[in-house]
């Protein structure tokens, strides 16, 4: 039996040796690609190309590796490849262990430099002033709706949307101790407290609830309080050294937050793109219908429309719209041209590869 085990281990070692050789060969090609990009002023981060690589790898997978496991492995390979070409800094809405932090890691991998910011405005400013190459901010939650601060900044920023990230939100009850019955106080972000309201009423009906600026801040708050708990992510438990008392305590399992990747460059069409715009129309009957009619006539699918109040004009609105396709496409460009003619203001926020829900 030991001989069979040793034989299997020797086979693994031989495979590992071959994998290391292939990874280094891949790294050398990545460095050469980085040199080529630099000589032609091309960006290191190319979300369309990275999606192609992931899709191609997934098509070749016959198991027993799960699609999620293989995706995670290749996210890290791509992350290291980017770092070999050029170190990259990403600003995000912090603190560490926030859901935005998790979204950054799920998309960019671990081989990046991170810059945690206190507000959405600060994230945009970091990228606008070129202190960070990219930024990641929340834009909407499937239960709570749009993030107003992000929409406000998108109207005025010169930056473009480079991509989006969809992250399932899983809430855990964390504590410095292990017993649920000793918890007298629960800290978290107001949205997290609301999303876990039923569980809290059923399991901790006498506990006092305290609002914090983020779930991660709540985790940090309870470190020295043996009678307190925080609603936060499992990642927060690992980072702050807390115990997970309960997992998946949110009321709705289909709780997903969408994050935007913002940067200074655009994306070439990939064949599976999304475009985000913001526009205004005259305050007259039928104006919005006329503005959007070209999309219907040309069979361009709208995937989102959100009204957003103008700060200096009472009861007047801008409209944020996402549609399938790239702004450079024939039908899409024609729609945008007609929208400009019908509206008072049109801004293309970005065309980018469609994001997928992270496992």
Peptide bond into 73 cis (omega under 30): no
**Per-domain residue ranges of the chain:** 2-84, 88-141+149-169, 172-247, 266-353
Task: Please give the CATH number for the structural domain made up of 88-141+149-169.
Answer: 3.40.190.10
- The verdict on pTM exceeding 0.75 is yes
Per residue in 232-252, pLDDT tens? Answer: 999 999 999 999 999 999 988
Please tell me the predicted confidence (pLDDT) of residue 111: 92
Which residues are paired to 35 by β-bridges?
none
> Six-digit token pair at 223?
């470190």
Distance CA 266, CA 326 (A): 11
Burial 316-350 (b: 16+ CB within 10 A, else e): eebbbbbbbbbbebeebeebbebbeebbeebebbb
Q: How far apart are CA 290 and CA 193, in angstroms?
A: 42
pLDDT of residue 156: 92
CA 342, chain centre distance (Å) = 33
Task: Measure Cα distances from 135 to 58, 212, 351, 352 in Å.
Answer: 27, 23, 16, 15
Catalytic residue among 108, 124, 259, 279: 259
3-class SS string, the chain:
CHHHHHHHHHHHHHHHHHHHHHHHHHHHHHHHHHHHHHHCCCCCCCHHHHHHHHHHHHHHCCCCCCHHHHHHHHHHHHHHHHHHHCCCEEEEECCCCCHHHHHHHHHHCCCCEEEEECCHHHHHHHHHCCCCCEEEEEEEECCCEECHHHHHHHHHCCCEEEEEEEEECCCEEEECCCCHHHCCEEEECHHHHHHCHHHHHHHCCCCEEEECCCHHHHHHHCCCCCCEEEEECHHHHHHHCCEEEEECCCCCCCCEEEEEEEECCCCCCCCCEEEEEEEECCCCCCHHHHHHHHHHHCCCCEEEEEEEECCCCCCCEEEEEEEECCCCCHHHHHHHHHHHHHCCEEEEEEEEECCCECC
* Strand duo 317-324 + 302-309: pairing: antiparallel
Q: How far apart are CA 344 and CA 326, in angstroms?
A: 22
CATH of domain 172-247: 3.40.190.10
Q: Show the low-confidence residues of the chain (pLDDT under 50).
A: none
Q: Which CATH fold would you assign to the domain 2-84?
A: Chorismate Mutase Domain, subunit A (1.20.59)
Interacting residues of 36 by C-beta distance below 8 A, sequence separation 6+: 42
Same fold, 88-141+149-169 and 172-247: yes
The tokens for 174 are 């964390």
> Any catalytic annotation for residue 259?
yes
The CATH superfamily assigned to 266-353 is ACT domain (3.30.70.260)
Give the pLDDT of residue 1. 61
Is 100 labeled as catalytic in the residue annotation? Answer: no
Q: Which of 257, 275, 320, 323 is catalytic?
A: 257
Answer yes or no: are the C-beta atoms of 71 and 58 closer than 8 Å: yes
């Amino acid at each position: 039996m030991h001989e069979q085990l040793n034989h299997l281990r020797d086979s693994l070692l031989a495979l590992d040796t071959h994998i290391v050789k292939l990874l280094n060969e891949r790294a050398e090609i990545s460095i050469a690609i980085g040199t080529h990009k630099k000589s032609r002023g091309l960006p290191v981060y190319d979300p369309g190309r990275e999606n192609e690589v992931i899709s191609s790898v997934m098509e070749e997978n016959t198991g027993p590796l799960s699609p999620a496991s293989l995706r995670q492995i290749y996210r890290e390979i791509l992350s290291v490849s980017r770092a070999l070409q050029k170190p990259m800094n990403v600003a995000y809405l912090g603190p560490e262990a926030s859901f935005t932090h998790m979204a950054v890691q799920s998309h960019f991998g671990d081989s990046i430099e991170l810059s945690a910011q206190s507000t959405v405005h600060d994230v945009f400013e970091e990228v606008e002033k070129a202190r960070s190459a990219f930024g990641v901010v929340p834009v909407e939650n499937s239960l709570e709706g749009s993030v107003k601060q992000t929409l406000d900044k998108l109207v005025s920023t010169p930056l473009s949307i480079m991509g989006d990230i969809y992250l399932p939100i899983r809430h855990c009850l964390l504590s410095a101790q292990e017993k649920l019955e000793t918890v007298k106080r629960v800290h978290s972000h107001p949205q997290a407290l609301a999303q876990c309201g039923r569980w809290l009423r059923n399991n901790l009906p006498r506990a006092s609830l305290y609002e914090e600026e983020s779930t991660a801040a709540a985790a940090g708050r309870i470190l020295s309080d043996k009678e307190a708990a925080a609603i936060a992510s499992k990642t927060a438990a690992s980072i702050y050294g807390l115990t997970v008392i309960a997992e998946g305590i949110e009321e709705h399992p289909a709780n997903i937050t969408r994050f935007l990747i913002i940067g200074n460059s655009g994306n070439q069409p990939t064949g599976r793109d999304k475009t985000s715009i913001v526009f205004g129309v005259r305050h007259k009957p039928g104006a919005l219908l006329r503005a959007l009619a070209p999309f219907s006539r040309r069979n361009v699918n709208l995937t989102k429309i959100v009204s957003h109040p103008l700060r200096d004009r009472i009861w007047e609105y801008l409209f944020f719209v996402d549609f399938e396709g790239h702004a450079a496409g024939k039908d899409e460009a024609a729609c945008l041209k007609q929208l400009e003619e019908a509206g008072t203001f049109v801004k293309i926020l970005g065309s980018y590869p469609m994001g997928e829900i992270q496992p």
